[in-house]
């Protein structure tokens, strides 16, 4: 069941800051930069922004020629692979992954690197680039989103470690059906405080 969330601005922010939401791919420690899944802009004081965290996720691949495959419904424990057939480069389901907690994408082409991305709600949630032939990408997500205030970030952008260190408030989605995310803090000048995010009106699944 999809989780219904609602970001409400009860902050003292006077800078019309953007709110960033992302997840971490916890399947791998190295080369593990996150992607800006959602960037909520122009949220005025007292306003709210409803959005959905869907349970379904999709996988897509792209090749070195700039071609993108259709998004395929993916579940934990599944392996997909990119192959080159008579029509060109295609992404197909390939059986069970080596871990029941991961979605895996293998490059089974004889030559040419590929990229693999996971999508939720039509937006890129995570990506792995430059997967060489014979290698594979692994994706695993805990039921946690990270939220914080940023500037000049766009959806789909790869986040550097500095942004991830700054935007580090964890919101657990475990067992949630719906909740409000209340944003407080901010303010002008020396009176400014850190932004905080807390759940209210929580309904469990």
Shared domain check, 11 and 74? no
Q: pTM here?
A: 0.94
Pairing of strands 38-40, 78-85: unpaired
Contact yes or no for 173/191 (Cβ under 8 A): no
* Distances 32 to 13, 29, 79, 158 between C-alpha atoms, Å: 31, 6, 20, 10
Domain boundary, last residue among 139, 173, 188: 139
Which among 201, 158, 176, 180 has a CA at the least distance from the CA of 10? 180
pLDDT tens, N- to C-terminus, the chain (205 residues): 899 999 999 999 988 999 999 999 998 765 567 999 999 999 999 999 999 999 999 999 999 999 999 999 999 999 999 999 999 999 999 999 999 999 999 999 999 999 999 999 999 999 999 999 999 999 999 999 999 999 999 999 999 989 999 999 999 999 999 999 999 999 887 878 999 999 999 999 9
Which among 57, 86, 61, 85 has a CA at the least distance from the CA of 73? 57
Shared domain check, 99 and 157? no
How far apart CA 33 and CA 175 sit, in angstroms, is 27
Q: Where are the extended beta strands (E) located within 1-47?
A: 3-9, 18-22, 38-40
Question: How many distinct structural domains can be found in the chain?
Answer: 2
Enclosing domain of residue 119: 57-139
Nearest 5°: phi and psi at 164?
-65, -35
| H/E element, 165 | helix 161-166
Shared domain check, 102 and 34? no
Shared domain check, 21 and 95? no
What's the pLDDT score for residue 192?
85
């Amino acid at each position: 069941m999809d989780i219904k969330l609602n970001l409400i601005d009860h902050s003292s922010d006077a800078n019309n800051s953007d709110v960033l939401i992302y997840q971490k791919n916890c399947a791998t420690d190295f080369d593990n930069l996150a992607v800006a899944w959602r960037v909520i802009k122009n949220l005025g004081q007292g306003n709210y922004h409803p959005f959905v965290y869907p349970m379904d996720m999709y996988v897509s691949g792209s090749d070195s020629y700039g071609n993108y495959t259709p998004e395929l419904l993916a579940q934990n424990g599944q392996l997909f692979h990119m192959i080159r057939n008579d029509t060109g480069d295609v992404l197909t389901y390939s059986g069970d992954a080596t871990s029941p907690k991961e979605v895996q994408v293998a490059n089974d082409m004889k030559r040419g690197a590929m990229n693999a991305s996971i999508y939720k709600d039509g937006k890129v949630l995570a990506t792995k680039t430059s997967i060489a032939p014979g290698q594979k990408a692994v994706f695993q997500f805990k039921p946690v989103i990270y939220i914080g205030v940023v500037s000049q970030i766009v959806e789909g952008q790869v986040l550097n470690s500095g942004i991830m260190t700054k935007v580090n408030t964890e919101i657990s989605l475990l067992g949630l059906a719906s909740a409000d995310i209340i944003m407080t803090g901010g303010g002008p000048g020396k009176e400014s405080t850190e932004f905080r995010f807390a759940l209210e009106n929580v309904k469990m699944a």
